[in-house]
């Protein structure tokens, strides 16, 4: 190589500079060798496709050289062991790590103790050793809700579907005995409203804030009540009892003594709540029902002071007849019967006066008594045999109350016994009385006794 200086030509070799023996190639780099003095040529190295060479120097080197920085080597798989690496070759920015070809779209990859993602839970198989054998492998359906594509699919019928399910669905709150399902309007201490839009059928126990002791219960530490609201042309809010034997799907006819409906009150006695109501309005059937026979009655029952036994106070429509029986014992013989709980008709009536309908407007077949009838009236009075006596106490049968407990049934008399605790009365004995004062059901007519007395007084007054 020759340079011109002040009109003279001087070669590098003349001044002691070492130059390449041949002309450098295009793109070559001239450098000073490690030994010093002169120059060396670093010839350019052209790589193959997808490979890039760069001028670089590694640890321990003193002269740079062309080195491969990008090559066609496939990156390590994702299930390889974790490592900082030793390769000095860069990665392509669009490189893709291969994964285990056995992993499907619904399998899971989990980390191992050494940090790699080589542990796989395959759907339908037992877990791998990295899980210690303590987890069960999930069993999943072919369509999962891991993306918006499957959110409306109804492929998990064991779960509630908030959008509704054809044929209905069951929401179960617990799997243990005496479990609980609580439906709460809000997490706030200020409660809102749980609104049931359509008809609700209670097949088991349901409680509103509290543990139910009946099929449907409202329980709270304040006044609790249930309101029925009706707004229509003919409003008729009310409670209705719908009873049958058999089952809901196959009902059978009501039988004599079956409870049609009741409303009762229970109270806490310092130890427990009573199983049966302490005061009750009880509606029961009085015969075996059919399409043409549906007899029934209403009974009002309560507990008297210093006792714990519930007794009947009033029966309306007793034995399916149009009768009212007060403090019943046995069955009423007439439209209104007052008993004392021990003897049919043995009760007491207090009144200021007593009257009888007497107008001609409501009477027919009127025949006036003759003097001979008056003589008979006197005769009937004279043969009266007055006596003192006690009524016998009825022995009652039993029945099942609304709680399924066997209790006394005052309407059923299975016998009579003498009881000296009952009061002593004065009066007549039916079998000893004249026919003129005998009435139905082995009773004595007070009106006829008064009539006989009046006839006797008239007869005596007419005598000289």
Q: What is the pLDDT of residues 95-147, one digit of tens each?
A: 777 765 555 544 555 555 555 555 555 544 544 444 444 445 455 445 555 55
What would the pLDDT profile of 245-280 be if each residue is shown by its tens digit? 999 899 999 999 999 999 999 899 999 988 888 999
| pLDDT score, position 147 | 53
| Residue 199: burial class (beta carbons within 10 Å; 0-12, 13-18, 19+) | exposed
Residue with tokens 């007439």: 334
Distances in Å between the Cα of 253 and the Cα atoms of 126, 257, 290, 363 are 57, 12, 7, 44
Angle at 278 between CA 276 and CA 279, to 5 degrees: 120
Q: Distance (Å, rounded) from C-alpha 357 to C-alpha 103?
A: 102
Q: For position 96, what pLDDT does the model report?
A: 76
DSSP designation for 296: E
Relative to beta strand 65-70, strand 52-56 is antiparallel
Profile the chain (464 residues) by mean pLDDT over runs of 10 residues. Answer: 51 54 71 66 76 78 78 70 71 71 53 53 49 47 52 72 82 81 82 75 56 69 83 89 93 96 92 90 96 96 93 94 95 94 93 89 94 94 96 93 87 94 95 95 94 94 87
Residue 50's pLDDT is 74
| Through-space distance between the first and last CA atoms of the chain, rounded to whole angstroms | 194
pLDDT at 338: 96
Q: What is the pTM of this model?
A: 0.58
Helix (H) or strand (E) holding 9: strand 8-11
Please answer whether residues 254 and 288 qualify as being in contact, where contact means their C-beta atoms are separated by less than 8 angstroms. Answer: yes
For residue 233, the surrounding DSSP H or E stretch is: none
Could you tell me how far CA 440 lies from the centroid of its own chain?
A: 56
Q: Which residues contact 381 (CB under 8 A, 6 or more apart)?
A: 452, 453, 456
Q: Are 393 and 342 in contact (CB under 8 A)?
A: yes
Tokens 């027919």 -> residue: 364
Q: Is 78 in contact with 97 (CB distance < 8 Å)?
A: yes
380/357 Cα distance (integer angstroms): 25
Q: Could you give the CA distance from residue 162 to residue 178 in angstroms, rounded to a whole number?
A: 26
């Amino acid at each position: 190589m020759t340079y011109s200086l002040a009109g003279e030509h001087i070669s590098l070799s003349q001044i002691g500079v070492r130059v390449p023996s041949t002309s450098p190639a295009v793109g070559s780099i001239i450098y000073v060798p490690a030994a010093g003095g002169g120059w060396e040529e670093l010839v350019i190295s052209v790589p193959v496709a997808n490979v890039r060479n760069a001028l670089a120097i590694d640890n321990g080197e003193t002269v740079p050289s062309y080195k491969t920085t990008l090559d066609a080597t496939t990156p390590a798989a994702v299930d390889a062991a974790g490592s900082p690496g030793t390769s000095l070759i860069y990665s392509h920015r669009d490189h893709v790590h291969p994964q285990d070809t056995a992993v499907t779209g619904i399998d899971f990859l989990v980390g191992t103790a050494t940090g790699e993602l080589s542990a796989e839970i395959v759907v339908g198989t037992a877990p791998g050793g990295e899980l210690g054998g303590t987890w069960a492998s999930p069993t999943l359906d072919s369509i999962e809700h891991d993306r918006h594509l499957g959110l409306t699919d109804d492929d998990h019928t064991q779960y509630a579907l908030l959008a509704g399910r054809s044929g209905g669905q069951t929401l179960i709150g617990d799997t243990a005995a005496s479990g609980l399902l609580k439906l709460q309007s809000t997490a706030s201490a200020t409660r809102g409203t749980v609104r049931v839009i359509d008809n609700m059928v209670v097949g088991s126990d349901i409680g509103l804030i509290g543990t139910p002791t009946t099929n449907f219960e409202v329980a709270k530490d304040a006044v609790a009540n249930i309101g029925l609201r009706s707004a229509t042309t003919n409003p008729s809010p009310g409670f209705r009892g719908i009873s049958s034997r058999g089952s809901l799907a196959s009902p059978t006819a009501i039988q004599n003594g079956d409870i049609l409906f009741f409303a009762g009150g229970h109270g806490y006695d310092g130890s427990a709540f009573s199983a049966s109501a302490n005061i009750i309005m009880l509606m029961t059937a009085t015969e075996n029902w059919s399409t043409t026979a549906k007899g029934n009655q209403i009974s009002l029952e309560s507990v008297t002071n210093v006792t714990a036994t519930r007794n009947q106070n009033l029966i309306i429509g007793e034995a399916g007849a149009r009768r009212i029986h007060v403090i019943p014992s046995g069955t009423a013989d007439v439209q209104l019967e007052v008993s004392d709980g021990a003897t049919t008709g043995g009760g007491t009536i207090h009144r200021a006066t007593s009257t009888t309908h007497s107008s001609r407007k409501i009477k027919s077949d009127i025949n006036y008594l003759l003097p001979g009838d008056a003589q008979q009236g006197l005769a009937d009075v004279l043969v009266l045999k007055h006596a003192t006596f006690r009524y016998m106490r009825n022995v009652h049968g039993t029945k099942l109350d609304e709680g399924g407990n066997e209790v006394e049934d005052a309407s059923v008399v299975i016998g009579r016994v003498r009881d000296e605790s009952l009061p002593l009365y004065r009066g007549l004995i039916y079998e000893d009385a004249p026919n003129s004062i005998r009435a139905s059901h082995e009773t004595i007519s007070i009106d006829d006794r008064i009539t006989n007395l009046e006839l006797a007084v008239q007869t005596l007054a007419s005598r000289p």
